[in-house]
Amino acid sequence: MNSTQIICIVCPMGCHLEVAHDSASGTYSVSGNKCSRGKEYGINELSNPTRVVTSTVVIEGAHLKRLPVKTNRPIAKGKMFECMKEIDKVRVIAPVKMGQIILKDIAGTGADLIATRSMG
C-alpha cells in the first residue's frame, strides 16, 4: 500500500488529498476530499492523469501570425509533448472559425485539435 499526497484542483477549495493505492487489489482509496468529484479526481490523477493541451499553430492570411488551439478533450498527460510535436507542424490558412477542427485524432489520442478563436 503506497499513498500519494496531491492537491485537488476540481474547485478553488484546494483539498489536500491522500490517495492510497493497493497494488494487490489494484484499487485506490481517497481521503481528505470534501466531495465526490474530489475522489474521482484523486483516483484519475494517479491511475490515468489527463490534461487539455492548449497551444498555437501557424496561421497565414490573418492579422496575427498564430492561431490559438486546444485539444477538444483531455488527453493522457504522458502524451503532451508528442501532441506538441504534431501541433508544431500544422499550418492553417485564414479564415478559421472558433471550434473548427484543425487536426483530427491528434497523436492517436482520440482527441481533435480545434481552433479556440475565429480569425481572418
**Binding-site ranges for other proteins (CB under 8 A):** 6-7, 9, 12-15, 34, 51-58, 63-66, 68, 70, 77, 80-81, 84, 87-88, 98, 116-118
Give, rounded to a whole angstrom, the gap between the first and last alpha carbons of the chain. 55
Residue 21 or 70: the one with the smaller Cβ distance to other proteins is 70
Length of the chain: 120
Task: Compute the least distance from the CB of residue 65 to other proteins, in Å.
Answer: 5
- SS3 breakdown of the chain: % helix, strand, coil, rounded to 5? 25, 40, 40
Task: Compute the least distance from the CB of residue 46 to other proteins, in Å.
Answer: 13
- Alpha helices in 1-120, H assignment, sequence order: 36-47, 80-89
Residue 28 or 115: the one with the smaller Cβ distance to other proteins is 115
Residue 22 or 88: the one with the smaller Cβ distance to other proteins is 88
In angstroms, rounded to a whole number, what is the distance separating the alpha carbons of residues 45 and 50? 7
Task: Compute the least distance from the CB of residue 103 to other proteins, in Å.
Answer: 13
